[in-house]
């Protein structure tokens, strides 16, 4: 079934081929070669034409790609890669700057902290020293007052003790008078009081 | 032409559009040539227009172009090292040409350039030719070290060298036949299943109901062919990179 239909429809292109190729015997026998049942891809009559046109078309294609398309495609891809590396570098640079800024900030912060500590310490020390001097002054004043007070107490005590002696003599002479009825000499009484008062 | 639909071979016919005959050689501008031009035009226009804004942040289409560029660039660098990058335009052109030709061929009624062995062989011969010419230019006779692996016992050497030579010579054949056969087989299968849909539908209501199965198959095959179109372009480019690596570093 295939064979007969193949023969039937092959007569059409064969006739067309002979009409086109003219009276040339070479071409005339070549194209109707299909009529002998030649499988078209194995028909040598078509080889020169196909090779020629393959060479022309593929050659032009090669040149076009090599001269125009590939430089352009390569350029696009290179530009993109350059751009990406450039952007990455830029980002890395910015990150470095940010890190440096953070480090500087932290260093300044630490410096400020130590400075603040030093100032605080200094103020503390100064206040302590001032308080110390003030305290010493007050203590000295108090000591002085205490001394004075003790001195006055001592003098008052001495006076009082002196008066206690005379009072005791008076009292003793009065008691002796009342009990004995005689007068004791003043010197005796004084000696007695002294021995009692030690 | 309506009756042609059932014939899976018809899509591979070469039709002369502008007959040119020089020195007894038939160099006509055919439908194959037309689709080579279309492949180049579509690929060039896509790569050119999507990158015209040169955006720093690419749009969707510009990303596609950039992905293709970097995909091939990494492929070449992995296989052949940074020295291989001098072949980058060549490998990139090959990859884009094969890929776009394969993808264009998936459209109904379009001709698949890579389904003709002479085209794939032409590309493969270009690759191997580049490898041989560059290898001898760069290393002189040292390029022949490619056929003499290190650390092989002397009495085995003739045999190993023979195997290496055969494997090298078969490279252009395997490279071209792999791509050609994949595209050809895929398109024939697709056409056969689509043909079933048409033939069955002609049988009436039962046929239309029955044609759902081949239709589903055709849809699935289209997806598969899309994958194959990418995969074969990738394989072609990867093998090219590996062969170029041999030209750059002939010692194993």
CB contact under 8 A, B24 and A76: no
- Listed by start position, the domains of chain A span 2-63, 160-197
Which pLDDT belongs to residue A145?
94
CB B120 within 8 A of CB B77: no
Task: Please tell me which of the candidates B32, B48, B69 has its beta carbon nearest to residue A68.
Answer: B48
Judge whether residue A36 has pLDDT over 60. Answer: no
Which pLDDT belongs to residue A19?
40
Neighbours of A16 (CB within 10 A): 13
Using the Cβ of A28 and the Cβ atoms of chain B, whether some distance falls under 8 Å is answered with no
Mean pLDDT of A95-124: 96
Mean pLDDT of B212-238: 94
Task: Please tell me which of the candidates A52, A66, A77 has its beta carbon nearest to residue B89.
Answer: A66
Q: How far is A105 from chain B (nearest CA, A)?
A: 39
Which pLDDT belongs to residue A8?
42
Q: Which is nearest to B26 in space by CA: B34, B17, B37?
A: B17
First to last CA, chain A: 172
Mean pLDDT of B39-58: 91
- Cα separations in angstroms, A155 against A145, A169, A193, A198, B28: 15, 21, 21, 19, 157
DSSP-derived secondary structure for A141-152: HHHHHHHHHHHH
**Residues listed for chain B:** 252
Which pLDDT belongs to residue A37?
63
Which pLDDT belongs to residue B6?
64
Using the Cβ of A166 and the Cβ atoms of chain B, whether some distance falls under 8 Å is answered with no
**Of A113-122, A130-139, A186-195, where does mean pLDDT reach its minimum?**
A186-195
CB contact under 8 A, B92 and A31: no
Which pLDDT belongs to residue B48?
94
Residue in chain B closest to A12 (alpha carbons) equals: B1
Which pLDDT belongs to residue B109?
87
Distance CA B118, CA A55 (A): 12
Choose, out of B1, B14, B53, the residue to mutate when testing the contact with A (most A CBs < 10 Å): B14
Contacts of A28 (CB under 8 A, 6+ apart): A18, A21
Which pLDDT belongs to residue B99?
96
Which pLDDT belongs to residue A198?
62
- Cα separations in angstroms, B56 against A83, A91, B52, B53: 9, 19, 12, 9
Distance CA A146, CA A141 (A): 8
Give the CA count within 13 Å in the CB-facing half-sphere of B96.
36
Using the Cβ of A96 and the Cβ atoms of chain B, whether some distance falls under 8 Å is answered with no
Which pLDDT belongs to residue B220?
95
ipTM reported for the complex, 2 dp: 0.89
Instruction: For residue A69, name the pLDDT band (cuts at 50, 70, 90).
Output: very high
Using the Cβ of A64 and the Cβ atoms of chain B, whether some distance falls under 8 Å is answered with yes
Which pLDDT belongs to residue B147?
87
Distance CA B32, CA A56 (A): 13
**What is the per-residue burial (b if ≥16 Cβ within 10 Å, else e) of A147-156?**
eeeeeeeeee
Q: Which of A34-48, A121-135, B131-145, B148-162 is modeled with the greatest confidence?
A: A121-135
Distance CA A77, CA A71 (A): 10
Position with higher pLDDT, A181 vs B179: B179
What 3-state DSSP class applies to B17?
Answer: strand
**What is the per-residue burial (b if ≥16 Cβ within 10 Å, else e) of B19-58?**
bbbeeebbbbbbbbbbbbbbbbebbbebbeebbeeeeeeb
Mean pLDDT of A95-122: 96
Distance CA B108, CA B211 (A): 19
Using the Cβ of A57 and the Cβ atoms of chain B, whether some distance falls under 8 Å is answered with yes
CB B31 within 8 A of CB A53: no
Please tell me the total count of domains within chain B: 1
Neighbours of A70 (CB within 10 A): 19
Which pLDDT belongs to residue A161?
83
Residue in chain A closest to B25 (alpha carbons) equals: A48
Instruction: For residue B252, name the pLDDT band (cuts at 50, 70, 90).
Output: low
Instruction: For residue A5, name the pLDDT band (cuts at 50, 70, 90).
Output: very low
Which pLDDT belongs to residue A6?
41
CB B30 within 8 A of CB A50: yes
Which pLDDT belongs to residue A23?
37
Using a CB-CB cut-off of 8 Å, the residues of chain A touching B62 are 76
Distance CA B201, CA B212 (A): 10
Neighbours of B63 (CB within 10 A): 13
Residue in chain B closest to A78 (alpha carbons) equals: B56
Which pLDDT belongs to residue B4?
46
Position with higher pLDDT, B250 vs A155: A155
Judge whether residue A152 has pLDDT over 70. Answer: yes
Position with higher pLDDT, A136 vs A22: A136
Mean pLDDT of A82-105: 96
Phi, psi of B250 (to 5 degrees): -70, -30
Which pLDDT belongs to residue A30?
39
Which pLDDT belongs to residue A119?
96
Which pLDDT belongs to residue A164?
81
Mean pLDDT of A117-125: 95
Judge whether residue B126 has pLDDT over 50. Answer: yes
**Of A12-21, A152-161, B81-90, B242-251, where does mean pLDDT reach its minimum?**
A12-21
Judge whether residue A32 has pLDDT over 50. Answer: no
Position with higher pLDDT, B62 vs B11: B62
Judge whether residue B31 has pLDDT over 70. Answer: yes
Distance CA B246, CA B231 (A): 23
Domain that holds residue B189: 2-248
Q: Which is nearest to B212 in space by CA: B223, B200, B222?
A: B200
Contacts of B69 (CB under 8 A, 6+ apart): A70, A73, A74, A77, B92
Mean pLDDT of A146-168: 88
Judge whether residue B95 has pLDDT over 90. Answer: yes
Judge whether residue A116 has pLDDT over 90. Answer: yes
Judge whether residue A10 has pLDDT over 60. Answer: no
CB contact under 8 A, B33 and A40: no
Contacts of B111 (CB under 8 A, 6+ apart): B11, B31, B32, B34, B35, B105
Distance CA A154, CA A145 (A): 14
Judge whether residue A34 has pLDDT over 80. Answer: no
């Amino acid at each position: 079934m295939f064979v007969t239909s193949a023969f039937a429809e092959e007569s059409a292109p064969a006739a067309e081929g002979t009409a086109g190729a003219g009276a040339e015997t070479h071409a005339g026998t070549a194209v109707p070669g299909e009529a002998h049942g030649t499988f078209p891809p194995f028909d040598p009559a078509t080889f020169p034409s196909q090779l020629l046109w393959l060479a022309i078309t593929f050659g032009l294609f090669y040149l076009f790609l090599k001269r125009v398309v590939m430089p352009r495609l390569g350029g696009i891809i290179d530009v993109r890669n350059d751009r990406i590396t450039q952007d990455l570098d830029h980002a890395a640079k910015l990150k470095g700057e940010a890190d440096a800024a953070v480090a500087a900030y932290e260093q300044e912060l630490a410096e400020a902290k130590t400075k603040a500590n030093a100032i605080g310490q200094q103020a503390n020390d100064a206040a302590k020293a001032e308080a110390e001097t003030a305290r010493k002054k007050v203590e000295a004043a108090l000591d002085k007052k205490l001394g004075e007070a003790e001195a006055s107490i001592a003098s008052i005590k001495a006076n009082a003790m002196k008066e206690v002696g005379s009072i005791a003599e008076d009292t003793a002479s009065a008691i002796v008078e009342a009990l004995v009825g005689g007068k004791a000499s003043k010197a005796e009484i004084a000696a007695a009081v002294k021995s009692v008062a030690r | 032409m309506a009756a042609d639909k059932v014939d899976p071979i018809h899509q591979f016919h070469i039709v002369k559009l502008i007959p040119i005959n020089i020195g007894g050689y038939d160099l006509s501008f055919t439908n194959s040539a037309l689709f080579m031009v279309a492949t180049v035009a579509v690929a060039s226009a896509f790569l050119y227009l999507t990158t015209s804004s040169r955006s720093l942040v690419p749009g969707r289409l510009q990303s596609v172009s950039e992905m293709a560029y970097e995909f091939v660039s990494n492929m070449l660098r992995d296989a052949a090292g940074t020295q291989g990058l001098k072949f980058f335009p060549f490998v990139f052109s090959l990859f884009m040409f094969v890929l776009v030709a394969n993808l264009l061929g998936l459209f109904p009624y379009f001709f698949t350039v890579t389904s003709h062995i002479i085209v794939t062989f032409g590309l493969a011969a270009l690759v191997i030719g580049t490898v041989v010419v560059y290898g001898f230019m760069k290393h002189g006779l040292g390029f022949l070290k490619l056929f003499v692996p290190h650390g092989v016992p002397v009495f085995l050497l003739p045999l190993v060298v023979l195997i290496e030579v055969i494997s090298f010579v078969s490279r252009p054949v395997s490279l071209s036949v792999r791509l050609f056969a994949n595209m050809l087989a895929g398109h024939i299968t697709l056409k056969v299943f689509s043909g079933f849909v048409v033939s069955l539908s002609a049988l009436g209501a039962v046929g239309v109901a029955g044609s759902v199965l081949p239709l589903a198959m055709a849809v699935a095959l289209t997806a598969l062919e899309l994958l194959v179109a990418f995969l074969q372009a990738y394989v072609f480019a990867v093998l090219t990179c590996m062969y170029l690596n041999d030209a750059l570093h002939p010692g194993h």
